[in-house]
Every structure is written in C-alpha cells, then in structure tokens.
Amino acid sequence: MSAKERDRLKVLHEVRQGHLTQRGAAEQLGITDRWVRKLLVRVQEEGDRGIVHRLRGQESNRRLGESLRRRVVKLVQAKYRDFGPTLACEYLAKQDGVEVSKETLRQWLIEAGLRRGKRRKVEEVHVWRARRSCRGELVQWDTSVHDWLEGRGPRLYLVAMIDDATSAAYARFVGADNTEENQRVLWGYLERWGRPVEFYTDKSSLFTVNRPRLEAADEAVQEELTQIGRGLRELGIGWIAAHSPQAKGRIERFFGTAQDRLVKGLRLAQADSLAAAQTYLEQEYLPQWNQQFTVVPEGRSDAHRPLHAEHQLAAILGHVEARSVTSDYTIRYQGKIYQIARSDIRPGLRGGQVRVEQRLDGSRVVKFRQHPLEVTECPERPKTQPPHKPASAPKNRPKVAHNWMKDFHLHQSPPWGVILGPERTDSRPGSG
C-alpha cells in the first residue's frame, strides 16, 4: 500500500467512526462524495485491501507489443548501440519509421542489458549567470579538439560561436587551430549576422598576449594585441576573457552535445574528409541545432551592428604589421627589401610608418594613411667576402736567455747561503 492510499484509508476510518462527513472527506481527498461512498463499501467488504487500485499488478491496456519491443531493441543493437535514448528515438523515427518515447526505450535498453541506469555525480556548484537580454550582445567563441571522424579521415578542429541570449550556433570545421583559420570563421559570422557587441573567449594565445606580470604595478606598459585582438578593436567589437571553462559553460555544453550527436551523425553519413564533414555540419547538424535547442530571447531587438564602408574585412582580418620607411623610400619585410614606386611618393612618407597587410587570400597590400602603395621587391644584394690572405707558416722565435737564470741549476743551493739549524746564514748582497 502506498503512502497516498494509507492517507486515504485514515480519512475513510474517520468517516466510518462518524468524526467526518462524506462531503468533508471528499473535499479533503480531492474526489467526489459518490466515490467516497463506493470506497466505504469496498473497505467494509474487503477490509483495508479494498482501498488498493484494481489495476495494480496488471499490464496496461496501452502497453506496446512484444514484437515491437524486440524489433526496436534489435535496431538499436545493430545501428545505434552507443546512442543515448533521446538521440536513438530521433533516428528511429527519422530513418526507420518507428516512434517510441525516450523513457520507454530507456527501460527496454536497461532490461536488454544494453544500457545502465545513471548515477548522479556530486559536482561543484557554480554561480548561475542569466542570459543576455538581446541577440548579439554577447557571443561565446571557442575551439573543440576531438576525434570527429573517428579515424576515418584527417584530424579536424571545430571552431564554434554561440549566442548567449538564444544559443544560436555558428561553427566550421578547420584543419588547424591557428589565427588564420579562426579569422576565416569570424569572417563568415560577420558576413552572416553582422558585428556583435562583445566576444567571450578563453585566455588562449590566439586572443591575448600572455606575459609574466611586472613587479612594479604602476609602471607604464604598452598594450600588446594579437592579430585577432587587433582585428576586433578595428571592428569596434569588445572582448572579454573567461577565467575558467565553467564561465563559458554555454559553448562548453554545445561541444559536449556535438561530441555525442555530431560524431554519430558524421558516422552515419560516412564522412571521411574535411569537405564531407563541412557539408554535413552546414546542411544537417547546425539547422537541426538552431531549430531544436535555441530559445526565444527576452528582448526582441537584435544588437548586431552592420558592416560599414570602413570595415573592410579583407584588410582587417589578416596579418598586419607596421614598417618604417627609410630615406631611400624602401621598407624591410620578412627579410626582404621592397622599393616604393616613385609615383606613390608623397609628403611625410620618408621616415613615416606604413601598414603591411598580409591578407587571407595570399595577397600583400602596403598602405600609407589608407592610401595603397605600389612596391616592388629589390634584388638581393651580392654579399662581399673579405679578401683572401695566403696562409703563412708560423715563425719559430728563439728563446731569449735571461741573465738572472744564468748558472742556475735545480739541484744547486742558492749562492746567497743556506739555512743551518736555528741560525740562518744569509750572504745575499745588501744583507750585511
């Protein structure tokens, strides 16, 4: 007998003893007074057992058939053995035309020995942070290193950006987690949605220059920016560094889901290359994520800002350095000398600073005050070698005989006397 049934039995005993009316018992139990009278009859005929539900221990009329259970378990064992119940239900409905609830499938898999019941782990509690109110206020940005193709192809990295207010995701597979590939992903995001207010990343060397702290806190230090940090500043986008992985938990959970769902989707799609994985990610996984896992933001406005004429992505996203112009209107870059064309010489150029842009498409552009300059590589100067001197044999210099060593022998006593006993006889000149 359950606790609810024991409580109901106590109220019925109060009615039988006349301490409570049938209508009062019905209000207290949340049932009708007619059902109270029927329960009283059952208790009088069967005793306390009459309060127990009649269907206890019997099979439900809505129970699924045994043949369906065997078919589903066989499909999961053959095709979706390492899938979770939720994901397996989605693939069973989409590819096999079998619809079962995830809890029913979970119980079937546990009974078949294909799955174990979960034990909750005691985890460290972190302070919950509310979502941003509008789309585009904050975008979390990170890279996941995982065996996405399960050994079927090259090693891939998943660079993802997820909106904090809506959980809308944008991601791309890349072959290397470097500045250039991350800038390409940033380019795609900016062209699709515009400039967000701030990006939220970790403290990787891609985003910040990691230097040891100076002992003197009040010492003026020039701020150093990475190529991505410089690009974000020129685009007018803020940057926030997370102090722990839990601080950017939204993108960490996105990667956790992708390492389960995306890996299995790539397996079923038989993706074995970067191009195939990219196609599945863009056409299948991301549309499904943005449809199933996004939420409606609190604010209806979009904080993304458009790209203006001064935001030339080709000029901003790339490797940019500054070089000084010498008196002969040349600059040095990557160990080579480049000559500025005579037609582009203008006041202030000599001794000034030019901007050298190594763009993502492989081209190189040199600018002075936003004006492009035409430069040509100077031929390499021949290296002058020092004159060759003929090797001469070393001369043997005669040893010079010194007068103070004349008539000196190692085993001969000094001419100025010897020490005998406690007294000393010294016959050196000038000693007397």
Tell me: the pLDDT tens digits for 68-81?
888 898 888 888 88
How far is it, in rounded angstroms, from Cα 293 to Cα 168? Answer: 8
Q: Residue 200: CB partners within 8 Å, gap ≥ 6?
A: 138, 139, 140, 141, 164, 240, 242, 248
Among residues of the chain, what percentage have pLDDT more than 70? 85
Q: Is pLDDT of 388 > 70?
A: yes
**Residue 356 burial (C-beta neighbours within 10 Å; 0-12, 13-18, 19+):** buried
Which of 91-100, 139-148, 178-187, 410-419 shows the lowest mean pLDDT across its residues? 410-419
- Do residues 148 and 156 make contact, with C-beta atoms less than 8 angstroms apart? yes
As a whole number, mean pLDDT of residues 263-273 equals 94
End-to-end CA distance of the chain: 132
Q: For residues 79 and 273, which has the higher predicted lDDT (pLDDT)?
A: 273
| pLDDT tens-digit map of 228-261 | 999 999 999 999 999 888 888 899 999 999 999 9
- Cα 46 to Cα 1, 52, 55, 305, distances in angstroms: 14, 10, 16, 75
As a whole number, mean pLDDT of residues 271-279 equals 95
What's the confidence (pLDDT) of residue 281? Answer: 96
For helices 3-16 and 22-29, the axis angle rounded to 10 degrees is 170
Q: Where are the alpha helices (DSSP H) in 18-128?
A: 22-29, 33-46, 66-79, 85-91, 102-111
Write down the residue that tokens 């037609």 correspond to: 343
What's the confidence (pLDDT) of residue 432? Answer: 43
How far is it, in rounded angstroms, from Cα 44 to Cα 109? Answer: 44
What's the confidence (pLDDT) of residue 28? Answer: 87
| pLDDT tens-digit map of 117-154 | 766 665 555 667 789 999 999 999 999 999 999 999 99
What's the confidence (pLDDT) of residue 42? Answer: 86
Q: Which of 224, 221, 246, 242 is nearest to 233 (CA)?
A: 224
Q: Does the model's pTM come out above 0.75?
A: no
What's the confidence (pLDDT) of residue 398? Answer: 63
Confidence of residue 422 (pLDDT cuts 50, 70, 90): low
Q: Is pLDDT of 218 > 60?
A: no
Confidence of residue 200 (pLDDT cuts 50, 70, 90): very high
Q: Is pLDDT of 364 > 90?
A: yes
